[in-house]
């Protein structure tokens, strides 16, 4: 598959449901200049979720049509619903030089890794299984069946952590936000083609 090049950096954040990815990202967006990609999903909105902000809530027919038209960078079935990352918006933002965050599941992240190996892959972990169960239960919107399903899925998901570049344990929220922020800053400080222009100038001064 063709490798995509871009001016901005793509950060892909995954982790078990209840690890606190959403909270970390919300804080991060307040503190640094990154854009969160809004996914499309066939899931029904939860109370308080806004169409076009939390997700694009679409029906199965529309989702299928988007697949057929090649509108997704990746898509996956997560639990009983489909989720997909709209391709054009993400690529446009990256091309304009903005950093973009995808908050997607592991299957989706592995697909993105294939087309976008330069992406930075970050895994968020809860501090313990007990804390994870407490967080999933505390959300109040899920049935016991759904909670049990998510807990067992988590055990399988944790095995994928070595496919990621970074792992952040979310014990204390501000600490976790600081760590993700540090990753973004470090990635922008890497010795890469981004600094070639400056190096060329130094070379000319010699
Ligand atoms: P939730 O229904 O709780 O909002 O999300 C369920 C799972 O779907 C989470 O693990 C979330 O990261 C994942 N997800 C959200 N959007 C996308 C997407 O566009 N693609 C993929 N592959 N997963 C997504």
pLDDT in tens, 85-136: 999 999 999 999 999 999 999 999 999 999 999 999 999 999 888 888 887 7
CA of 192 relative to ligand 1 center, distance in Å = 31
Mutate to test the pocket of ligand 1, among 39, 50, 149 (most ligand atoms within 8 A of CB): 39
CA of 115 relative to ligand 1 center, distance in Å = 19
pTM: 0.89
Beta-carbon contacts of residue 81 (< 8 Å; ≥ 6 apart): 41, 42, 43
Beta-carbon contacts of residue 16 (< 8 Å; ≥ 6 apart): 125, 126, 132, 150, 153, 154, 157, 158
108 lines ligand 1 (CB under 6 A): yes
Residue of higher predicted confidence among 175 and 154 = 175
């Amino acid at each position: 598959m063709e490798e995509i090049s871009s001016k901005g950096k793509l950060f892909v954040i995954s982790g078990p449901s209840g690890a606190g990815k959403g909270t970390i990202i919300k804080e991060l967006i307040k503190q640094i200049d990154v854009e969160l990609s809004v996914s499309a999903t066939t899931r029904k909105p939860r109370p308080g979720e806004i169409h076009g902000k939390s997700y694009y809530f679409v029906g199965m027919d529309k989702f299928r049509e988007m697949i057929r038209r090649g509108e997704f960078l990746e898509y996956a079935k997560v639990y009983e619903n489909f989720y997909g990352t709209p391709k054009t918006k993400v690529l446009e933002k990256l091309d304009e030089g903005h950093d973009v965050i995808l908050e997607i599941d592991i299957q989706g992240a592995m697909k993105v890794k294939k087309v976008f190996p330069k992406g930075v892959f970050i895994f968020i972990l809860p501090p313990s299984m007990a804390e994870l169960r407490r967080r999933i239960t505390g959300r109040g919107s899920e049935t016991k069946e759904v909670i049990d399903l998510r807990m067992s899925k988590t055990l399988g998901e944790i095995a994928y952590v070595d496919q990621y570049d970074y792992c952040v344990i979310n014990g204390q929220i501000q600490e976790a936000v600081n760590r993700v922020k540090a990753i973004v800053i470090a990635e922008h400080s890497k010795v890469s083609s981004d600094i070639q222009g400056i190096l060329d100038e130094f070379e000319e001064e010699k």
